[in-house]
Amino acid sequence: MKERKTKIVIAGGGTAGWMTAIAMTRLIKNTEVELVESDNIATIGVGEATIPTMQFFHEILGINEAEFLKATGGTFKLGISFENWKEKGHKYIHAFGETGKGCWAADFQHFWLRGKLLGLKHQFGDFCVEQVAAKMGRFAKVKNKGINFAYHIDATKYAQYLRALCEKNSSFSRIEGKIAKVNLSENSGEIESLSLESGSTISGDLFIDCTGQRALLIGEALNTPYEDWSQWLVNDTAIAVQTESTEPAKPYTRSIAHDSGWQWKIPLQHRVGNGMIYSSQYMSDKDAEKRLLENIQGKMVTTPKKIAFKTGTRTQHWNKNCVAIGLSSGFLEPLESTSIHLIQRSITRLLELFPVNGIRGTDIDEYNQQTKVDIASIRDFIILHYVVTEREDSPYWQYHKNMEIPETLKHRIELFQRSGHVCLKNDELFEDSWMQVMIGQGLIPENYHPIVDNMSDQEVTKFLNDMQQLELKKASSLPPHHAYIHQYCPSKH
């Protein structure tokens, strides 16, 4: 007997919808994929910075990197420059690479701490080739993944690019229309079909909610609760605007802290993405827009766009026969460019646990547990930026300085402060990043691991100086970022 095809219905397009569609279409056989979206519903489309995990997603899908970057006006990203976060006028770079080399018992920060006591002047980031290259404005892909990088992309063009790839597959179809109603089974409570305003009905086996913050399926139809995290992440509004480029694109994102929020600058080949993230409790929309427009360069190519949001997460990301992917599953502000990563991780997790011959509760439970751990870790990492700081110069920063933080984050901070150790879980996303941000924002451990004392003062000094010179040499050998883009993936935009 021929096995029945699994019918996957994706509600909504945008980055989440089209990333899901391309993955399901290319990687899962014996499926029929339908994506329902309306040209009359605008997508947010401002999430233009990514992290290195996107490379893996494209590799498993067989997406050509140069072609994708040309289509999206993309540039390369070595990290994020955090400005005014520790204190006004201070900046550091959280880069994607590994900092230094440690040993089996002690990571590199322990050797660097010993070096500081010996008078070493090098900053922690001087031992990370990605950070050195970012400061120099240099980039090139290196064999054997010798350079860790991500991308800056035009999210709207990315969705269009993925759509074109999907439409080449006979098992995929796109349906134009607005969803008028989500129809549930009276017996199981599962989603049976979607009714469109046109009068047509779309039935399916597995429904993916990519309807953004509206969460028409997971929220409105299935009443899945939303866990509010705004007591820790108080920002609730963004204003975004695009400008013409005024200089060659830097190979990093800029995150500039202000009195009541922070501003992003994301350089593409053909323009710059700008925005202000802030808390409406501490700054009015009018003042936020004024502050943003005073701190941009180049002619505006779009009008400022306001986006309201509530940080938090669904208590279940897979409920019955519905999986929420993207903003329908929750929202974490884009401080560490994790939005597209969370979409990608949701997709790959669903592929790993894809229901064969029916949906099982064990698969749902495992999916939800893994997602809960992942998103809580990223939440803590973002909160870290606000609490490890010397800023107390406004009510906004005073609130963060004094607020209660999750116990999981409190443990990480105290562990690092007392002993220099970083508490990492299995397969955790941010490894070296915790050290870079904590040290970058002024949290210097009180002690280092005693195994470092097996080296003499002269050995430690030579070890550190040689390593720093090696990273400087590697970075200096790279071409200017803009020259590499012009040679590798010039956009026609």
Q: For 30-70, write each residue's pLDDT tens digit.
A: 899 999 999 876 665 565 899 999 999 999 999 999 999 99
* Cβ-contact 76, 151 below 8 angstroms: yes
Q: How many CB atoms lie within 10 A of CB 7?
A: 15
Does the residue 409 lie in any domain? no
What does the pLDDT average to over 454-474? Answer: 97
Residue 3 confidence class, pLDDT cut points 50, 70, 90? low
DSSP 3-state assignment of 347? helix
Residue 315 covered by a domain? yes
Cβ distance 196 to 178 under 8 Å? yes
Amino acid at 468: Q
Q: Is residue 431 assigned to a domain? A: no
CA 58 – CA 344 distance, rounded (Å): 10
Cα angle 201, 206, 209; round to 5: 80
Alpha-carbon gap, residue 334 to 16, rounded angstroms: 15
Contact between 100 and 274 under an 8 Å Cβ cutoff? The reply is no
Task: Indicate whether 226 belongs to any domain.
Answer: yes
454 lies in some domain = no
> Do the Cβ atoms of 475 and 132 come closer than 8 Å?
yes
Question: What b/e readout covers 182-200, taking b as 16+ CB neighbours within 10 angstroms?
Answer: bebeeeeebbebbebeeee
Consecutive H or E run containing 168:
none
Res. 143: pLDDT tops 90: no
pLDDT tens, 274-310? 999 999 999 999 999 999 999 999 999 999 999 999 9
For residue 419, give the amino acid letter: S
Please count the structural domains in the chain: 1
Cross-sheet strand order for the sheet of 201-203: 179-184, 191-196, 201-203
| Spatial contact of 420 and 447, defined as CB atoms under 8 Å apart | yes
N-term to C-term CA, the chain: 51
Alpha helix positions (H), 264-360? 285-294, 339-352
The mean per-residue pLDDT over the stretch 58-87 comes to 97
Which residues span the domain enclosing 38? 6-48+154-231+311-359
Which element (helix H / strand E) includes 5? Answer: none
Q: Between these two residues, 425 and 380, which has the higher pLDDT value?
A: 380
Are residues 312 and 303 in contact, defined by beta-carbon separation less than 8 angstroms?
no
Residue 435's pLDDT band, with cuts at 50, 70 and 90, is: very high
Looking at residue 307, its pLDDT comes to 93
How far, in Å, CA of 165 to CA of 124, rounded?
43
The label of the residue with tokens 């700008």 reads: 274
Q: Report the range of poorest mean pLDDT among 114-118, 141-145, 301-305, 385-389.
A: 141-145
Percent residues over pLDDT 90 in the chain: 91
pLDDT at 1: 37
268: left (phi over 0), alpha (psi -120 to 50) or beta: beta
CA 181, 186, 187: angle at the middle one, nearest 5?
140
Residue 99 resides in a domain: no
DSSP 410-434: HHHHHHHHHH------TT-S-SHHH
CA distance 17 to 210: 5
Quote the DSSP letter at residue 138. Answer: B
Please give the DSSP secondary-structure letter assigned to residue 126: G
Angle at 58 between CA 52 and CA 62, to 5 degrees: 150
* 3 state DSSP class of 278: strand
> pLDDT tens-digit profile of 124-136?
999 999 999 999 9
Per-residue DSSP letter, 453: G
Instruction: Determine contact, residues 107/434, Cβ cutoff 8 Å.
Output: no
Distance of CA 273 to the CA centre of its chain: 16
- Averaged pLDDT score across all residues of the chain: 94
> How do residues 367-385 score in pLDDT, each as one tens digit?
999 999 999 999 999 999 9
The H or E element that residue 201 is part of is: strand 201-203
Per-residue pLDDT, 145? 73
d(CA 280, CA 288): 9
| Partners of residue 331 on adjacent β-strands | 312
Q: Which residues, 6+ apart, have CB-to-CB distance to 253 below 8 Å?
A: 49, 77, 79, 80, 81, 152, 264, 265, 266, 337
Task: State pLDDT tens for residues 168-212.
Answer: 999 999 999 999 999 999 999 999 999 999 999 999 999 999 999
In this structure, is residue 202 part of a structural domain?
Answer: yes
Give ∠ CA 80-52-158 in degrees, rounded to 5: 95
> How many angstroms separate the CA atoms of 406 and 376, rounded?
10
Q: Tell me the CATH number at 25.
A: 3.50.50.60
- CA pair distance 345, 33, nearest whole angstrom: 19
| Domain-located, residue 147 | no
Phi and psi of 49, rounded to 5°?
Answer: -110, 140
Q: Give the rounded distance of the alpha carbon of 387 from its chain centre.
A: 20
Q: Which helix (H) or strand (E) holds 269?
A: none
